Chains A and B, each alone.
Chain A
Amino acid sequence: MAVDSPFWRRACEKLVGEEDSGKRLLSLWRLYATMDLLFLARGPQVALTFYVSDFVVGLAAVTATFLLAERFDGIGPWTKPQVLFLLGYAVLVRGLINIFFSYNLAFISRRIGRGQLDHVLIQPQPLWMVLLTEGFAPVTGSGMFVPGLGLLVWAASQLNLEVPPTWYLLLAVDLVASIAVVLAFEYIVGSLAFWAPRAAEEINSSSWRLITQLAPFPLEGLSTWALGSLLTVVPVGLVAWYPARVLLGVGTTLWENAVLPAVAVVLVTVAFWIFSRGLRHYGRTGSTRYLDYGHRR
């Protein structure tokens, strides 16, 4: 069967959408980036407030661990520079989510619970494309990205890492996988809002708080069952601790490099399944909470 046959074309379209999906994605990212810039251009007060707020929140999230590492010259088997690397990784993951999944796309329970999913569904593009592009905020969302990247690079220089080029590939894969894990967890939990819009509207705030508060801590001291839970059911350990261990080679073997991407794929599949079921339910019931003047019942 020829590669350019209608069968293959249809199969490819099923997999990645229409032929010009890539162009459309770039075009939408450019559009949302421009809108984000215009939002910031409203005045220095807005810009300053967003930046300072993001910076302070990001800083505060990792400072506790940093202070402990400084006080005790490391935490458990982690040396001080290794802890810094872990913190840099954790902030970078959070910063990237802020950049690509802003405007409550990482807090999907809010959109579902408030009936705002309708705003997404009426757009003349696939749902996945909206979810990938609408939250793009490269300017207002970069308050944590820059310090996170800086911390990671600085910690790596302190560690005098001599790494092969494939290490950078592993870093990129792990970053994407960690982001996928966080989002999958948020979507699995947030999908509850399809069935309980009012009760679960803010449930992603709780799950996000848990992830961001616990991600910067080394988890070595936990019992086996607790650690197992934090790597599967509530995958806090996969956000920064596990990938940092793998990247720094702290008590890990080569095959463990594949664990994070594999678990990420599983979690994304579960999230997709639950979200699809919720969406089907939403298709039948719709939202009773949306009011045209913006407030909720």
Chain B
Amino acid sequence: MGPTRARTRETHQARLHWTRSIPPMQPLRLGGYIKTAAMSAGDVGDSPLFVFDYALRLLRVLVLLALWRTILGGRDSTGPMSLAAVLSYTVVAEVFAEQLAVQTTLSLAFWEGTLVIRFLRPMGMVRQLASEMAGKWLIGLSLFSVPLLLVTPLLGVDPRPSSVVAGGLFILSLALAILVGLALDLFFGALTVALEQPMWLIEYTRTAVATLLSGSLLPLAYYPWGLGDVFSWLPFAAMAWAPLAIYTGTGQPLRLLIGQVLWVAVLWPVADWMWRSNREKLVGYGG
């Protein structure tokens, strides 16, 4: 066998090996993810004291509504939003609080050292985390969000969107906000591993910063010194401010939606790269 033929055979074998090393394309089996979501929703029985958490959330809404009425009530000019719009903003922010501040079970998996179980399943990691999160949302939406929406008129707030179009665009914007939130969650999860820091340290900091910068607590339009304009360009604003501003008819929908799409396009490759670069270190966290 001549050297050329031997080289050809080696190349062929190398190609064959390379081809075999690529995992075959798996069809997306939705059933598994739906089942995962259902199992996650079933976890609610493990902690029946979630009702306490809901009571605290309701109390927060009441305090914020009272605060806005104190600040804006009786003023000639209420600034960039009407009092009614601010009140709607506050209520809807709480109704969709979980969707506007996306948090998967990634941190919990770090904490409990159970990420390895998810690696072993023949399912996508992010899709698993998203399914678990969606399962938990079902409980929150049905037991807290919908009842809150129903009692909103009793609180003197009109929860309806500013227009039918705004309502439709809100759904689109909310979907984009969830995608941005998911990417950020993955990014911060990878960052926790990369920096080898306690996961709660990163999580607390992230939650605190996100609450402030996303506009989920206060509308960015009311931030002084033009800070709201600056913050509205950040990815955190794409998580909460954008959908809520569309809902209340405060911002320009097209600009807000384009901003969200851009952040989705930028954050997902970055988060994916961060995750792939650091997941090997997960062994230190019990995975």
Q: List chain A positions with a Cβ less than 8 A from chain B.
A: 49-50, 52-53, 56-57, 59-61, 63-64, 67-68, 70-72, 75-76, 189, 192, 196, 198-200, 202-203, 206-207, 209-210, 213-214, 217-223, 226, 229-230, 234, 236, 295-296
Q: Which of A70, A76, A206 contacts B56 (CB 8 A)?
A: A206
User: Could you tell me if A199 and B211 are in contact, using CB atoms closer than 8 angstroms?
Assistant: no
| A-B contact number at CB 8 A | 105
The stretch of B23-31, B44-52, B146-154, B269-277 in contact with A is: B44-52
User: Could you tell me if A53 and B205 are in contact, using CB atoms closer than 8 angstroms?
Assistant: yes
A67 contacts which chain B residues (CB < 8 A)?
A: 218, 222-224, 227
Which residue on chain A has the smallest CB distance to residue B64? A217
Which residue on chain A has the smallest CB distance to residue B197? A49
> 16 A–B contact pairs at CB < 8 A?
A52-B205, A59-B208, A189-B52, A199-B49, A206-B52, A207-B56, A210-B60, A213-B217, A217-B67, A218-B67, A219-B63, A222-B63, A223-B66, A226-B62, A229-B59, A236-B63
Instruction: Give me the 3 closest cross-chain CB pairs, A-B, nearest first.
Output: A221-B70, A60-B208, A221-B66
B251 contacts which chain A residues (CB < 8 A)?
A: none
Which residue on chain A has the smallest CB distance to residue B198? A49
B223 contacts which chain A residues (CB < 8 A)?
A: 67, 71
Q: In terms of DSSP, what is the predominant structure of the interface of chain B?
A: helix
User: Could you tell me if B70 and A220 are in contact, using CB atoms closer than 8 angstroms?
Assistant: yes
Cα of A145 to Cα of B286 in the assembled complex, Å: 34
User: Could you tell me if B70 and A75 are in contact, using CB atoms closer than 8 angstroms?
Assistant: yes
Task: Kindly provide the distance from the CB of A227 to the nearest chain B CB, expressed in whole angstroms.
Answer: 9
Please count how many residues in chain B sit with their CB below 8 Å of the partner chain's CB atoms.
39
Which residue on chain A has the smallest CB distance to residue B45? A199
Q: Which of A52, A221, A234 contacts B69 (CB 8 A)?
A: A221
B70 contacts which chain A residues (CB < 8 A)?
A: 75-76, 218, 220-221
A214 contacts which chain B residues (CB < 8 A)?
A: 59-60, 63
The contact string, 1 if C-beta is below 8 Å from chain A, for chain B 34-66, is: 000000000000111100110010011011101
Task: Kindly provide the distance from the CB of B177 to the nearest chain A CB, expressed in whole angstroms.
Answer: 20
B249 on the interface (CB 8 Å rule)? no
Q: A53-B205, A64-B212, A76-B71 are in contact. Are A71 and B224 (CB under 8 A)?
A: yes
A68 contacts which chain B residues (CB < 8 A)?
A: 67, 71, 218, 222
Q: Which of A199, A210, A296 contacts B59 (CB 8 A)?
A: A210
